[in-house]
Each structure stands twice: as structure tokens, then as C-alpha cells.
């Protein structure tokens, strides 16, 4: 392991805005994010597979009235977003270092108000379908932690993955789906505030159109 990675792992260990294995909050935070970490009752927004946290930090700058949590299992990536948030004094930001399939261990049902999925690995090979972040088992997990009518956003450059998601989301119970195959030419462009991840910048420079959708978590009525 490189010295740089080791340094970033140590940075995470010392960073107050990183929740990871070995820290007390890692085992006690479920259902208590507002009370214990953020110390307010504001909405909670997740960025899944957040990488370096560009969206987590970018959204937190614009929406000081919300709490933002970047989720990723790669500690060296999280360290960069964590440090940026600390440098900017953003107290409405946290990072959770876990696999996305562990979300149910860290959030109570309905604890999350909004989810962003930005440029995930599209897993284009058919045998990798179960790893796509809009595969039904993931969507079921999102629905559990999202509140009633909580919003899910997805941005990607990959047309095949986007079309796949347009099918799996409604089939899994998400409603009010709005989408565009060319975000920058759409009125929906205002929603993303011009925030771009590294991958988004690369894709747009190569001429790829950015696909975007949003939908709501409609709970089943008894």
C-alpha cells in the first residue's frame, strides 16, 4: 500500500466528519444522525458511491439548511472530500465509509430525505447486473431508508444503464419519474447547480450527453 493511501487512512481516522469502523459512532449512529452528529433536525441527503465527495461538498455549499452524507467504501477517496469540507468549515457534511448494501445498518426506516447517485459504475456486462446501483435489491434498500415521497436522483453518461434504470425504478415502487437524456439542454439542468464530478467533466469534454432522472419513494398503503 502506498504512503499516500496510508496517510489518507490516518487522516480519516482523525477526521471528525468521517464515520468508519473503529470509531464509536460507527456502531451507535443508526437513527441518531440528526441528534448525535449534526445536532439539528434538518433533512438528510445521501450521495451514494460518492468517491471524492464532489457532489456531497458541492450540495452542502448551496444548501446550508440540509445535512449531507457521502457514502463510499474507499477510504482514500473519502479522505479528499472530508478534508475539503473541513477546510471550508462545512458543518453540514459527514462521510460514511461502508458498502452501500450496509445502509440498513446505519439508517432507520424513513431517516433519509433524499438520495443522489452520481456517475456510478454502470456494470455493462450482463453477468454484473446485480452490482448496478439501480438493481432491485439496491432499490429496495433505498426505499426502506427513504421517507415517504423522498426523492432519488440519478446522473450518468451511460445510455444503457440509464434505460435500465428507467425500467427498474418504477417496477420497484418509485413514482413521479421525470427524466432527460440531455441534462444541459433541459430545464432540469437547474437542479444540479452546475456541480460536476471528475468523471462528468471528462465525459462532457468528450461530447457525451448527461442523462438525469428524479423520482419519489411512494410507500405502499395498507
Which residues are the active-site residues?
121
Distance (Å) of CA 184 to CA 17, 209, 212: 33, 8, 10
CA distance 157 to 131: 17
CA distance 11 to 13: 5
Beta bridge partners of 216: 151, 175
> Alpha-carbon torsion 18, 73, 133, 56, what sign?
positive
Q: Contact 194/50 with Cβ under 8 angstroms?
A: no
| Cell numbers 430545464: residue | 187
> Alpha-carbon torsion 164, 49, 131, 99, what sign?
negative
Q: C-alpha grid cell for residue 201?
A: 467533466
Kindly give the pairing relationship between strand 174-180 and strand 211-217. antiparallel
Phi and psi based region of residue 133 (left: phi greater than 0; alpha: psi -120 to 50; beta: remaining): alpha
What is the separation of C-alpha 64 from the centre of its chain, rounded to a whole number of angstroms?
Answer: 17
Amino acid at each position: 500500500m502506498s504512503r499516500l493511501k496510508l496517510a489518507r487512512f490516518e487522516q480519516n481516522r482523525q477526521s471528525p466528519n468521517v464515520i468508519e469502523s473503529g470509531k464509536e459512532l460507527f456502531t451507535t449512529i443508526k437513527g441518531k444522525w440528526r441528534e448525535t452528529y449534526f445536532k439539528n433536525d434538518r433533512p438528510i441527503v445521501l450521495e451514494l458511491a460518492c468517491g471524492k465527495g464532489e457532489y456531497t461538498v458541492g450540495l452542502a455549499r448551496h444548501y446550508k439548511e440540509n445535512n449531507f452524507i457521502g457514502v463510499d467504501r474507499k477510504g482514500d477517496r473519502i479522505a479528499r472530500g472530508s478534508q475539503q469540507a473541513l477546510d471550508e468549515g462545512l458543518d453540514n457534511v459527514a462521510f460514511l465509509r461502508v458498502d452501500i448494501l450496509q445502509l440498513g445498518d446505519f439508517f432507520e426506516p424513513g431517516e433519509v430525505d433524499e438520495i443522489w447517485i452520481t456517475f456510478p459504475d454502470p456494470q455493462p456486462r450482463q453477468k454484473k447486473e446485480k452490482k448496478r446501483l439501480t438493481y432491485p435489491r439496491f432499490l429496495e434498500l433505498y426505499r426502506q431508508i427513504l421517507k415517504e415521497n423522498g426523492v432519488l436522483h440519478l446522473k450518468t453518461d451511460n445510455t444503457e444503464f440509464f434505460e435500465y434504470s428507467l425500467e427498474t425504478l418504477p417496477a420497484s415502487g418509485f413514482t413521479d419519474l421525470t427524466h432527460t437524456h440531455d441534462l444541459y439542454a433541459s430545464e432540469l439542468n437547474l437542479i444540479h447547480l452546475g456541480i460536476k464530478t471528475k468523471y462528468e467533466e471528462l465525459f462532457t469534454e468528450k461530447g457525451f450527453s448527461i442523462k438525469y432522472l428524479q423520482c419519489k419513494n411512494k410507500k405502499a398503503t395498507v
